[in-house]
Chains A and B, each alone.
Chain A
Amino acid sequence: MARLPHDWEKRLQESPFADRHFTEKLQRNVNRRLNHPPQRKLRRWIYAAVILPLVALVLVIGYSSGGFSSLTGRPDHGAVSSGENSPDPGAAGTQSPALSFPSADPSGDEVQLPLVAVLAVPSVDDGYPAVRNPVPALPEMTFPLSAEMADQLQATLVYGADGKSSYLLLSPAGWVASAVIGANGSYGLTFTDPADPAQTLAYTDTNWSCQGCAISDIGLYFPEKADWAEDSGFPVYVPLHFKSRELLGTGGAAGRTVRYALQPDKDGLLADGAAYYEEGSWGYLIRRIELRHASGIPENAAMESILGFFAAVHGALILPESGPESGEADPAPYSTSDLLSTLEQQG
């Protein structure tokens, strides 16, 4: 079998092409563009002259037909929301009954975490009324927590207005949650520390959609898959600078789960996270959680529990999809009080 010529790299010192490609015409183009920059101001005026009457027309039609009722504050029973998670006062972050976790200490009592309900709304309103769906039943928790976590963590139930994408996560106690469902079906949640908004906990799940996002993220967080990602057409352009990185196993789901820490960013914030991916015959998904925090905040034990819960259930704890109780959709919008009362009934 012939091998590469031993001096093959020397041959690369020659020009790859015999012909010139950066021609005089291209050079003239450069000079012309420098001497005659595009007439942006004139172009702006032209655009303004065309667009402003159109905007005015849209506004007139919108207001006269009531299409902007959600923006003017009038109640609109048809709209899911205007893109916020808590269309009703007190929806997101409202304290709910506690959720019990087994104690990490075999002789200890159950650990009770406050349960916070967050309503996730589609980022794109499909124009149909919100459907009253039953709150999914919460399974018995099996992830063990130490007793001191009762004061440091909260359990957050994200409940999709569409009855889908309901899931449960752990987060630092008191952090404010904001959840959204993307137009392509992916979803995510961001917690913000009210005392220091730069500190966040972000969770995302591509949910088998956006294959490009999933493949490039798999290549990013699992560098051993970077070549595969590139061969799939989604190369990693800017690799992450891991401070530490550990695959949680060599096979199965653990082999597709990684814990990592990144070098401090320009603001000095640390990032600790975990990622998990799946490959199916229909595509790929990746779930990620990342805590950006100042050094030592929150306590390491709390962070270990948050990321440990993610690693244990390979993402957030996905709750079974719930549909309308009757065969037909109830056009009444789902209210926060309904959500909380149902949670209370379920204990």
Chain B
Amino acid sequence: MSMERNNVATMSAGALQTLMEIYGEDVWNYAFFLSRSSSAADDIAQETFIRAYKYMHAFRGEASVKTWLLRITRNRWYTYHSSSFMKRVTLLAAPDSTRTAQSAENAYMDESLSSEVWQLVLRLPRKYREILMLHAHYEMTMEELAHTLNISLSAAKSRLHRARQKASEYWEKELNGNG
């Protein structure tokens, strides 16, 4: 942890490059699972590293570098999602959100996923796919989940439990739908 902190606190352009090489995919994947859009994930991931470089002094070593970057990613996604542009797009798209046909990009990304379990997670509502990803993939502890998601510890446990239930429901529903 202390070495990580030192590396970040003295981040140079070379260190930033190393950081992007090590954590770039993690940040991009998290951004993608939040936004379900590869173009949004491109933007959010770039913004995350720019932000990390500019505000490296804010890293206090209380969490791992990866967790710190994922929190920045979440904030960048939130800003991105709350922007007036996104709101306009979302409002226009909202009535159509129940459609079953996927866009070409969604279909391509869905097929690119490495397993059907990831495909299942991607279909879950945002708060469930997010907590599953943070817990199962990024191996965050309950305390880290609660801190990252800005919710209480009990709420984090409850949400993770609900996410597992939802995943199971979706799995069975899809099997029934396909079968």
Contacts and interface: CB of A to CB of B under 8 A. Distances in A.
Contacts of B93: 233
A299 interface: no
A62 B21 CA distance: 58
Contacts of B176: 1
Contact of B114 (A14, A30, A212): A14
A31 B13 contact: yes
B126 A235 contact: yes
A21 to B, nearest CB: 5
A13 B136 contact: yes
A266 interface: no
A27 B132 CA distance: 27
B33 to A, nearest CB: 7
Interface residues of B, number: 55
A241 to B, nearest CB: 8
Interface residues of A, number: 38
A40 interface: no
A232 B139 CA distance: 30
A233 B136 CA distance: 26
Nearest to B155: A239
Given A4-B168, A17-B114, A27-B17, A9 B136 contact: yes
B94 A17 contact: no
A235 B36 CA distance: 15
B20 interface: yes
Interface in A148-167: none
19 contacts: A1-B175, A2-B172, A3-B168, A4-B117, A8-B167, A9-B135, A12-B118, A15-B114, A16-B32, A17-B29, A17-B113, A18-B112, A18-B114, A21-B29, A27-B21, A30-B16, A31-B16, A233-B97, A238-B150
Interface of A: 1-5, 8-22, 26-27, 29-31, 33-34, 212, 227, 230-235, 237-239
